[in-house]
């Protein structure tokens, strides 16, 4: 599948498209690789709180004359991990190129990127769309530097009085992942992006919570529905002779789906009016929910690519073998189902992130897997979700949650109290489970305490006792309620029910 160099398609025109059209989408996904330092210098990638503009910089990432780049080994390692995860070819040697264009956020007036020898080519990623597996081809994936950022002061790019430039971001390592035009609906792109993020997060090379860590350009065209084969493939000549729009500025899964749905409809309307689709770059305006034309699409030759002489070719042939990757989400889901007897839904919840899966596994090996699944998938994730927290936000407290599950397992606290009081108070404050249980008096009532509460309930409620003997089943529930209240909810309702019946039958 790997075709390179790409053709300049801007001169080609749309073929005739009949009423019945199918949408064709290919993605170019930029993700930030998690490394400590920038890709070609030693500056940190971690913005300090309230950092001043242009302080996290050095002569290299400012593009000062004479400053030379040095490749960050961690960025290459991360890229090799991605290559292995998407089953890509990793070449013997990979090289770097200058992509030349003038824009103020680009201090050198070129971007250091890769061109004809990218670090990954011919990969694939399987996604499930409505339960159906679909394999999306990945043409290539390469590493490059992020430009700086611009701040248009006093409004949009058109209305701003002036623009500020900040090079703190310049040189942040990015990986650009280019897919084949294999998507047949906006929904498929959303599933793909979710899956891609999940895999990257498992690899430990990506932080989905980081601002701007995922940026998507989406290429969209319409083809004759008859051109789509039963397996969803579209012949290359059809793809190549069809004009497409490249939609930029998409920053989320949901944004991708919305932008693409809008763009497909826009193109259908253009064709319906008997006009042609322009080969152009469009901008997704998230706020207005529309795509707007930015410019006619730049062609390959506009960038005057040439080899970066300051970076030698990188020998990566051995890296594929020497760099290990962890078990990936699909494999882990399968294993969880088999090893712990989980249903599909629990298995997929419990593998939604590596941190969740690791925690579940810790708990499941210590206690009953079913109890572990309920506690992690339903209780903990549910309560975290309600508070808009992720498991990584409470990473330092995982042993406290394990302790709580252990207390439930040992019958030291009732399930109801653990779920509805202890866990919630733990999350709303900073206390460990023992402290909460002690403070709220929730330690499971001892046998003696329960028995005396049962006796008291019978002594103090003669009417309910009479009703019970007259066959009123509701009376027993009332008495159970009295005992539960007296024990502060720390008794087991089933056990109380049994004890009451025993006493009342005597």
Which of Zn ion, ligand ADP, none does residue 58 bind to, with CB < 5 to 8 Å depending on kind? Answer: Zn ion
Q: Kindly state whether residue 25 participates in binding ligand ADP, applying the rule CB under 6 A.
A: yes
| Minimum CB distance to Zn ion smaller for 70 or for 225 | 70
Name the DSSP letter for residue 139: E
**CA 323/CA 344 separation, integer angstroms:** 31
Query: Residues 6 or more apart from 93 whose CB is under 8 A from it?
Result: 117, 313, 314, 315, 316, 317
Interface map 220-249 toward ligand ADP (x if CB under 6 A): xx-----------------x--x-x-----
State the CB neighbour count (10 A cutoff) for residue 251. 17
**CA 267/CA 32 separation, integer angstroms:** 31
Cβ 118 to ligand ADP shortest distance, Å = 11
> How many residues belong to the site for ligand ADP (CB under 6 A)?
17
| Minimum CB distance to ligand ADP smaller for 74 or for 194 | 194
112: helix, strand or coil: strand
> How many residues belong to the site for Zn ion (CB under 5 A)?
5
Which of Zn ion, ligand ADP, none does residue 24 bind to, with CB < 5 to 8 Å depending on kind? Answer: ligand ADP
Contact with Zn ion (CB under 5 A): which of 10, 44, 58, 326?
A: 58
Q: Kindly state whether residue 442 participates in binding ligand ADP, applying the rule CB under 6 A.
A: no
| Minimum CB distance to ligand ADP smaller for 141 or for 450 | 141
Which of Zn ion, ligand ADP, none does residue 28 bind to, with CB < 5 to 8 Å depending on kind? Answer: ligand ADP
Which of ligand ADP, Zn ion, none does residue 243 bind to, with CB < 5 to 8 Å depending on kind? Answer: none
* Stretch near Zn ion under the rule CB under 5 A, chosen from 5-13, 35-43, 74-82, 409-417: 35-43
Cβ 244 to ligand ADP shortest distance, Å = 4
Cβ 215 to ligand ADP shortest distance, Å = 14
Q: Kindly state whether residue 413 participates in binding ligand ADP, applying the rule CB under 6 A.
A: no
Cβ 42 to Zn ion shortest distance, Å = 7
Cβ 60 to Zn ion shortest distance, Å = 5
Contact with Zn ion (CB under 5 A): which of 41, 193, 277, 476?
A: 41
Q: Kindly state whether residue 112 participates in binding Zn ion, applying the rule CB under 5 A.
A: no
94: helix, strand or coil: strand
Tell me the backbone φ, ψ of residue 384, rounded to 5 degrees.
-65, -45
CB contact at 8 A, 395 and 355: yes
Q: Kindly state whether residue 256 participates in binding ligand ADP, applying the rule CB under 6 A.
A: no
**CA 403/CA 250 separation, integer angstroms:** 42
C-alpha pair distances (Å), 58 with each of 37, 65, 68: 12, 12, 11
Helix segments in 414-461, DSSP class H: 415-417, 423-428, 433-440, 447-460
Q: Kindly state whether residue 39 participates in binding Zn ion, applying the rule CB under 5 A.
A: no
Which of Zn ion, ligand ADP, none does residue 220 bind to, with CB < 5 to 8 Å depending on kind? Answer: ligand ADP
List binders of ligand ADP among 167-206 (CB under 6 A): 178-181
| Minimum CB distance to ligand ADP smaller for 91 or for 181 | 181
Torsion sign over Cα 419, 425, 431, 434: negative
Q: Which residues pair with residue 123 across a beta bridge?
A: 138
Helix segments in 186-233, DSSP class H: 186-203
Q: Is 123 exposed, middle or buried (0-12, 13-18, 19+ CB in 10 A)?
A: buried
Contact with Zn ion (CB under 5 A): which of 17, 22, 25, 61?
A: 61
CB contact at 8 A, 483 and 450: yes
Cβ 30 to ligand ADP shortest distance, Å = 12
**CA 12/CA 3 separation, integer angstroms:** 18
Q: Kindly state whether residue 24 participates in binding ligand ADP, applying the rule CB under 6 A.
A: yes
* Stretch near Zn ion under the rule CB under 5 A, chosen from 39-47, 147-155, 419-427, 445-453: 39-47
Q: Is 266 exposed, middle or buried (0-12, 13-18, 19+ CB in 10 A)?
A: middle
> Which residue shows structure tokens 């690899």?
203
Q: Kindly state whether residue 261 participates in binding Zn ion, applying the rule CB under 5 A.
A: no
Cβ 147 to Zn ion shortest distance, Å = 13
**CA 504/CA 256 separation, integer angstroms:** 66
CB contact at 8 A, 126 and 115: no
List binders of ligand ADP among 341-380 (CB under 6 A): none
What is the contact surface with Zn ion in residues (CB under 5 A)? 41, 43, 58, 60-61
Binding-site ranges for ligand ADP (CB under 6 A): 6, 24-28, 178-181, 219-221, 239, 242, 244, 300
């Amino acid at each position: 599948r790997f075709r390179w160099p790409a053709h300049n398609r801007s001169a080609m025109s749309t073929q005739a498209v009949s009423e019945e059209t199918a949408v064709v989408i290919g993605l170019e996904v930029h993700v930030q690789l998690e490394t400590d330092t920038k890709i070609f210098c030693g500056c940190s990638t971690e913005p300090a709180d309230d950092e001043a503009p242009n302080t996290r910089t050095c002569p290299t990432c400012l593009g000062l004359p004479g400053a030379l780049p040095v490749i960050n080994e961690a960025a290459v390692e991360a890229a090799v991990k991605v290559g292995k995860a998407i089953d890509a070819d990793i070449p013997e040697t990979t090289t770097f190129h200058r992509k030349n264009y003038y824009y103020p956020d680009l201090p050198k007036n070129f971007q250091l990127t890769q061109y004809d020898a990218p670090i990954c080519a011919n990969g694939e990623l399987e996604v499930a769309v409505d339960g159906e597996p679909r394999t999306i081809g990945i043409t290539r994936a390469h590493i490059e530097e992020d430009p700086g950022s611009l701040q248009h002061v006093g409004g949009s790019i058109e209305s701003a009085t002036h623009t500020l430039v900040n090079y703190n971001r310049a040189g942040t390592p990015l990986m650009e992942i280019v897919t084949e035009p294999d998507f047949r609906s906006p929904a498929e792109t959303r599933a793909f992006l979710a899956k891609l993020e999940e895999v990257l997060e498992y690899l430990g090379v990506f932080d989905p919570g980081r601002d701007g860590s995922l940026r998507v350009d989406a290429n969209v065209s319409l083809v004759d529905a008859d051109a789509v084969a039963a397996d969803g493939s579209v012949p290359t000549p059809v793809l190549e002779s069809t004009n497409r729009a490249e939609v930029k500025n998409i920053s989320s899964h949901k944004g991708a789906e919305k932008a693409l749905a809008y763009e497909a409809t826009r193109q259908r309307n253009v064709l319906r009016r008997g006009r042609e689709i322009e080969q152009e770059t469009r901008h997704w305006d998230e706020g207005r929910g529309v795509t707007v034309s930015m410019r006619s699409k730049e062609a390959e030759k506009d960038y005057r690519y040439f080899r970066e002489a300051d970076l030698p070719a990188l020998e990566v042939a051995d890296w594929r073998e020497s760099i290990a990757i962890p078990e990936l989400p699909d494999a882990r889901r399968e294993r969880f189902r088999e090893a712990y007897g989980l249903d599909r839904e629990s298995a997929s919840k419990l593998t939604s992130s590596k941190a969740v899966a690791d925690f579940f596994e810790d708990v499941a090996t210590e206690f009953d897997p079913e109890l572990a699944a309920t506690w992690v998938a339903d209780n903990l994730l549910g309560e975290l979700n309600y508070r808009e927290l992720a498991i990584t936000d409470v990473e330092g407290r995982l042993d406290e949650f394990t302790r709580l599950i252990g207390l439930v397992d040992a019958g030291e606290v009732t399930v109801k109290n653990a779920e509805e009081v202890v866990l919630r108070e733990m999350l709303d404050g900073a206390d460990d489970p023992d402290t909460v249980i002690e403070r709220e008096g929730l330690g499971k009532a001892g046998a003696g305490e329960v028995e005396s509460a049962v006796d008291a309930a019978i002594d103090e409620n003669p009417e309910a006792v009479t009703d019970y003997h007259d066959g009123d089943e509701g009376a027993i529930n009332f008495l159970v309620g009295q005992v539960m209240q007296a024990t502060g909810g720390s008794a087991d309702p089933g056990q109380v029910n049994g004890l009451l019946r025993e006493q009342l039958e005597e």
